[in-house]
Amino acid sequence: MKNSKEIANSKRREFLKFIGKAGLSLPVLQASSLSAGLLLGRQAMAADVAMRRVIFLFVPGGTPLAAAHSWTPSDALQLNTCTAPLETVKQQCVFLKEVEIIGGGGHGNSQRVLGAFADGVDGTVDLALGEAVGATSPFSSLRLGVRSREESAVSARGFSRVTDLMDNPFTAFEKLFGGGIDSSPIGAKRDTKVQEINLEALKAIKSKLGAYELARLEQHEAAINKLKADIENAAANSVPAGCTDPAFNPLGLSTEQVDSQFTDLFNLQTENAILALKCNLTRVVTMQLGNNGSEFGVTGLDGSFHGAIHSGVLEKYEAFRIYFSELAAHLITRLAETDDPAGGKMIDSTLVVHISDMADGNAHTGSDAPYFLAGGGTAVDRGKVVSGQNHHRILDTAAEYMGAGSMPSYDPLGSLPNILI
C-alpha cells in the first residue's frame, strides 16, 4: 500500500519526539521490546489517543451449505446452527451476511481472504496495517497459528509466504517476552546490581585520573545513575498488570503439538495475543486455525476437518464449525474479561475480524461466506446483522477502524456503511 509508508514515517516521528522529551535513547529502548511497549502505551495515553487494536481470526473451510443455511442469524439476532455458541457474546458482534469472496473460494487461496491478491496493493491487510499504525511497535504485527503446521500462511506480500507464523505457544511467548532488558521486579534488581558494580569500579579509579579524564568520568557516572533511575521507574510505574513479570501457561494447559490438544493450544495462543496487545508490543494480530487444506483435527471430534467437509454427512461438517465458533466465543470473552491499561476492557479497544476462505467448503464456493466482526467499543455499532457485500470492503472497514483510512482501499467503495460510528 503506497500511503502506508507516509503513515509509518509520521508515527515514527511522533514516537521519536516523545522519547526525546522523555530523555531516553533509542539504543536503550531497542534493547527491550517490553520497555518499548510500555513507552508506546504512555505516549498514547499522554496524547489522549485511543490505542486501537485488531485481531484477524482465520477459520478455513467455510460453513455447511454457505452462511444463509447454517451461519447467518436472523435480523432479531436469533443465532443459526453454527453461530449458536456465540449467544453470550452476540451483542458484541456485527454479523455480515451475503459476503462475496473476491476471486472466489477454494483451497490454496487462503492469502486472498486478507487481500494478498487484490489489485494495486502490496500484500495482506495485517502486514499493511503493521507497516502503518504498527510502525513504532516492537512487533509491527504478529502471526499465531494453531496446528497450521506453519504452512499456507494467510499473511503474505503478493504471492510470497510469510515465514514467521508460530504454532508453538511457548516459542511465541519467548519471542514476545524473552529477550533484552528485563523490566520485571527480578530483572530490575539484576540490572540495578550491574549499575552498582559499575559505580564501584568508577570510584576505585577516580584517584588515578587527571582533571580532564575525571570530568569525563563523572559525566559517565551521571549517565549510569540516570539509567539506574530509569530501570527502577520502569519496574515501578505505569506498568499494566501482568506486563512486569509475564508468566507463560499459569493454568498448566497442554503444549503438545498434536490435533487432540487443539483447544489448549488455541487458549494459550489467545493469552499470548491478548498479553501482546495489552502490553503494547503490537497492535495487529493474526490468528490462523489449521491450514488452507483443512487437513487437521481438533479436540473431541473424530477425523480431519477436510474429511468432515466432504463426508456427505452434514452433521459432521456442522460439528467442526460449531467447535470453531466456541473458540471464537472464548477469544471474545477473554477480551471482555481483561482490563485495558487505558481503562475499560480490552474488547473496548480491540476489533476481532472473523474470516474464512470459502462459503460452502464442500462445493468450494466463494459466495455467502461466514464473516463477522466483534468488539471495537463505542466506535462500532454492534449487536446486529448487516450486508457484508464483499470481503475487500470488510478489510477496508478494519483498516478505517485502526485509523489507517488514508491507505489505498482494497475496494473502490471503501469501508462498509452502518458499522463504524
Split at pLDDT 50, 70, 90, the class of 204 is: low
Any domain includes 289: yes
Name beta bridge partners: 129.
Answer: none
Q: Which residue has the higher pLDDT, 372 or 106?
A: 372
The pLDDT of residue 28: 47
Which grid coordinates are listed for 238? 505505569
418 occurs within a structural domain: no
- 80 in Cβ contact with 324 (< 8 Å): no
Same domain, yes or no, for 217 and 366? Answer: no
Tell me the pLDDT of the chain averaged across its residues. 82
Q: Which of 14-18, 127-131, 378-382 has the lowest mean pLDDT?
A: 14-18
Judgement on whether residues 93 and 211 belong to the same structural domain of the protein: no
* Burial readout 329-358 (b: 16 or more C-beta within 10 A, e: otherwise): bbbbebbbebebbbeeebbbbbbbbbbbbb
Indicate whether 197 pLDDT > 90: no
* Amino acid making up residue 391: H
Does one domain contain both 14 and 100? yes
So what's the pLDDT on residue 215? 62
Distance CA 308, CA 201 (A): 69
Residues 99, 60 share a domain? yes
Supply the CATH number for residue 134's domain: 3.40.720
Phi, psi of 88 (to 5 degrees): -70, -15
Q: Is 203 within a domain? A: yes
15-29, 57-71, 134-148: the lowest-pLDDT one: 15-29
% of the chain at pLDDT higher than 90: 55
Are both 350 and 231 inside the same structural domain? no
pLDDT the model gives residue 55: 98
Of residues 28 and 112, more confidently modeled: 112
Domain span at residue 290 reads 4-180+253-401
Question: What is the DSSP annotation of 235-267?
Answer: HHSSPPTTTSS--S-TT------SGGGHHHHHH
Contact residues for 343 (Cβ-Cβ < 8 A; gap 6+): none
pTM: 0.80
> Which residue blocks in 180-304 are alpha helix, DSSP H?
185-206, 211-236, 262-278
The answer to whether position 42 is within a domain reads yes
Asked which of 236, 270, 300 is the last residue of a domain, the reply is: 236
316 within domain boundaries: yes
151-161 average pLDDT score? 77
- Shared-domain flag, residues 135 and 111: yes
Q: How confident is the model at residue 182 (pLDDT cuts 50, 70, 90)?
A: very low
114, part of any domain: yes
The C-alpha atoms of residue 245 and residue 236 are separated, in whole angstroms, by 12
Are 196 and 229 in the same domain? yes
Write b or e for each residue in 27-42: b if 16 or more Cβ atoms lie within 10 A of its Cβ, otherwise e.
eebeebbbbbbbbbbb
In a shared domain, residues 109 and 198: no
Compute the average pLDDT of residues 225-254.
69
* Residue with the larger pLDDT of the pair 187 and 66: 66
Q: How many domains does the chain have?
A: 2
Q: Residue 212 burial (CB < 10 Å; 0-12/13-18/19+)?
A: exposed
Please state which of the ranges 192-201, 336-345, 400-409 shows the lowest mean pLDDT.
192-201
171 and 192 inside one domain: no
Residues 53 and 163 in one domain: yes
Burial of 223 (0-12, 13-18, 19+ CB in 10 A): exposed
Map grid coordinates 443455511 to a residue. 69
Least confident of 33-47, 140-154, 228-242: 33-47
Residue 21 CA neighbour count, 13 Å, CB half = 9
The answer on pLDDT for 366 being more than 60 is: yes
Of 155-159, 187-191, 204-208, which gets the smallest average pLDDT?
A: 187-191
pLDDT reported for residue 241: 72
Q: Mind listing the pLDDT tens digit for each residue in 47-70?
A: 444 589 999 999 999 999 999 999
Res. 404: pLDDT tops 70: yes
Domain-located, residue 246: no
Identify whether 10 is part of a domain.
Answer: yes
Give whichever of 113-122, 278-287, 363-372 has the largest mean pLDDT.
363-372
Together in a domain, 23 and 108? yes
At 247, the pLDDT band (50, 70, 90 cuts) reads confident
Between 181 and 207, the more confident residue is 207
Q: Is the dihedral of CA 123, 132, 9, 243 positive or negative?
A: negative
Q: 216 and 176: one domain?
A: no
Residue 218 confidence (pLDDT):
62
